[in-house]
Chains A and B, each alone.
Chain A
Amino acid sequence: MKVKVLQNILDANDQIANRNRQVLDKAGVLAINIMSSPGAGKTSLILQTIARLKDKVRIAVVEGDIASTIDADRIGKEEISVVQINTGGACHLDANMVSNALDSLSLEDIDLLLIENVGNLVCPAEFKTGAHKQMMLLSIPEGDDKPYKYPLMFTESEVIILNKIDLLPLLDFDINAFRQAVTGLNPRVKIFPVSCKTGEGIEEWISWLESELRGR
């Protein structure tokens, strides 16, 4: 006998993600899921964001890594609430891990929650966390053809930070070809070319973030 199911396999994760969203909304927190390959600059971007906004906005960070507390330690130096999730092998954060992290934060005292996902251009895009916004970083050394190779990540992201633009003179990265590839698939995406090292372009990212915070 055939029993029709038609149920998404990630339903359980989606349900927890929806609960996370409700918890965040109740506390008035804007949560952003930040994804990228390892080394593209997620932590650096978070540190730049903290430096420019911490006097105006109450920020907390959730750090996701397979192992170590290196990133959480760097954030902790800025006197920002930070929770380190060590996935012990899982290659992405899922809603359940984020739910546990939310339990250890005083959400009432937070305006902006930055969730740094595990460095991975594949899996994080498939697992909802409950964050309001999905964004990713791509760094110049990774190459301009990545949207074709990892389409899900590039279509799921509302914002793409193109980091390490200070290296453009040294590498063959075609920014126009990259923009065409991404906007062809995701026309509403916002691309911010930046250098977390020199600070170039960061102001535009901060302006966008501030307008998103005001809009809540």
Chain B
Amino acid sequence: MHELSVTQGMLDIALDKAREAQASRITAINLVIGEMTSIVDDCVQFYFDFLSKDSIASEAKLSFTRIPMQVRCRHCGFSFSPDKSVWSCPQCGKWDVEIVAGQEFYIDSIEVE
């Protein structure tokens, strides 16, 4: 759905950074995507292949590091990955958590020549 516009955004950032580094080629883009975002890796790859065609990023390898959703209990501080519909803390039993991971959506690094 909106993978096209976010892939364009991602490509723009990568090209900017490559320009800053005075690189002639981008060989890899390393992405970090949290489980809770609605981004589908295959769609990003598909749009990337299309959008990067005439740029120094064409044929760059995309890597996707997926971060699972993690929450932390506000009462006892225990961190865990909630299972289906059970979000109560397995340590103290309270239902009061904050999300600490799973919402990431950034470029970690690029590899250039």
Contact = CB atoms under 8 A, between A and B. Distances in A.
Interface string A6-20: 111111110000000
Given A9-B10, A184-B95, A3 B112 contact: yes
B55 to A, nearest CB: 16
Nearest to B105: A9
Interface residues of A, number: 31
Interface in A56-112: 90-92, 94
Given A3-B17, A9-B6, A10-B9, A187 B74 contact: yes
Contacts of A3: 17-18, 20-21, 23, 109-112
B47 interface: no
Interface stretch (A34-42, A147-155, A192-200): A147-155
A181 interface: yes
Contacts of B107: 5-7, 9
A13 B97 CA distance: 28
Contacts of A5: 13-14, 17, 106-110
Contacts of B31: 9
Residue from A6, A91, A123, A152 having most chain B Cβ neighbours under 10 A = A152
A145 B85 contact: yes
B95 A10 contact: no
Contact of B105 (A10, A92, A122, A183): A10
A28 to B, nearest CB: 32
B9 A185 contact: no
Residue from A7, A9, A12, A185 having most chain B Cβ neighbours under 10 A = A9
A79 to B, nearest CB: 34
Interface of A: 1-13, 90-92, 94, 122-123, 126, 145, 148, 151-152, 155, 180-181, 183-185, 187
A-B pairs with lowest CB-CB distance, top 8: A184-B95, A5-B107, A148-B85, A8-B106, A9-B10, A122-B38, A91-B1, A152-B36
Interface of B: 1-2, 5-6, 9-10, 12-14, 17-18, 20-21, 23, 31, 36-38, 69, 71, 74, 84-85, 87-88, 95-99, 103, 105-113
Given A3-B23, A90-B2, A148-B85, 20 more contacts: A1-B111, A2-B109, A3-B110, A4-B109, A5-B106, A5-B109, A6-B106, A8-B105, A9-B6, A9-B13, A9-B105, A9-B107, A12-B12, A94-B5, A122-B38, A123-B2, A184-B87, A184-B97, A185-B71, A185-B87
